[in-house]
Amino acid sequence: MLEEATAAFAPEHVVGEGGYGIVYRGVLADGCEVAVKNLLNNRGQAEREFKVEVEAIGRVRHKNLVRLLGYCAEGAHRILVYEYVDNGNLEQWLHGDVGPVSPLSWDTRMSIVLGTAKGITYLHEGLEPKVVHRDIKSSNILLDKRWNPKVSDFGLAKLLGSDSNYVTTRVMGTFGYVAPEYASTGMLNERSDVYSFGILIMEIISGRSPVDYARPPGEVNLVEWLKNMVSNRDYEAVLDPKLPEKPTSKALKKALLVALRCVDPDSQKRPKMGHVIHMLEVDDFPYREDRRTPRQCQGSPLDRARTYAKPVTESGDSSCYDGNTTTAASTPCRLHESLR
């Protein structure tokens, strides 16, 4: 049936490659469009990926996550069948040839950010055992014709039991999106996905890739460049020049603040994805704290945001990072003071 749906896996039906497999567009006998992922048998990796993906995505029922419709495991064949999302992926719309003006407005981009956050939150908090995606990136955010995002490719997903804070694993993921502590130690938990999501927000705001060696030396690394722009209060310079209109200063600063919190070098100070959704949805975040709490850490909005985003039963450390002697561009307290 799948061979017929994809014209015997014809090259002209290929819509993507990666994650140990090739993805084909297929049409079933009833006219239903599907995405057929044919996993490649590479030293057993494909089979392991298959088992993880089936176990993880088979339970998913969320509007911002790609749904697994079925699978095939016959002989050496490992095939997954997903719903077909018909408008490409976010990477194509951010970095592809879309002309001088992007069809992605600021509001559309923030809607994509929020929808993606909700999908990841479901993986972290709505499933048992919870799921860490491990490969959050723009090419894994599929879009429909109304720009609704769906997180795809659970081939690198790692299942965590409810009693596990982290697991140690062979580092997998995509260069530029991987959390530093995961890259250096292999210790994986939900905060690793939060870091990748922060990079994704920066990419959506700026239209820049996480790492781009075609840019001048000081602009190769997206995180460091954006931190430098924020420390210099040069906010509008970080915006994608293809944006059809500029956001308000308040909206831009909020998005930047959320992104910077997500990529905090200290993984324990990164918000959980549920807190990220709260920060994105609250209109006056982080400014409400200006009226409710005394100034902390020289009035850093990061610290007011940290208090605001957490339940009141949590104490939370709102101090500056101890012993940090790096430059202003990489000092979190100074960075977020710049966003006042």
Residue 37 marked ligand-binding: yes
Specify whether the CB–CB gap between 338 and 297 falls below 8 A: no
Specify whether the CB–CB gap between 249 and 235 falls below 8 A: yes
Specify whether the CB–CB gap between 60 and 128 falls below 8 A: no
**Closest-CA residue to 153 (of 168, 135, 170, 171):** 135
Which one is catalytic: 135, 153, 264, 303? 135
Based on the residue annotation, tell me whether 135 is a catalytic residue of this protein: yes
HEC letters along the chain: CHHHHCCCCCHHHEEEEECCEEEEEEECCCCCEEEEEEECCCCCHHHHHHHHHHHHHCCCCCCCECCEEEEEEECCEEEEEEECCCCCEHHHHHHCCCCCCCCCCHHHHHHHHHHHHHHHHHHHHCCCCEEECCCCCHHHEEECCCCCEEECCCCCCEEECCCCCCEECCCCCCCCCCCHHHHHHCEECHHHHHHHHHHHHHHHHHCCCCECCCCCHHHCEHHHHHHHHHHCCCHHHHCCCCCCCCCCHHHHHHHHHHHHHHCCCCHHHCCCHHHHHHHHHCCCCCCHHHHHCCCCCCCCHHHHHHHHHCCCCCCCCCCCCCCCCCCHHHCHHHHHHCCC
Point out the annotated binding site. Answer: 37
Active site residues: 135
Point out the annotated binding site for ATP. Answer: 37
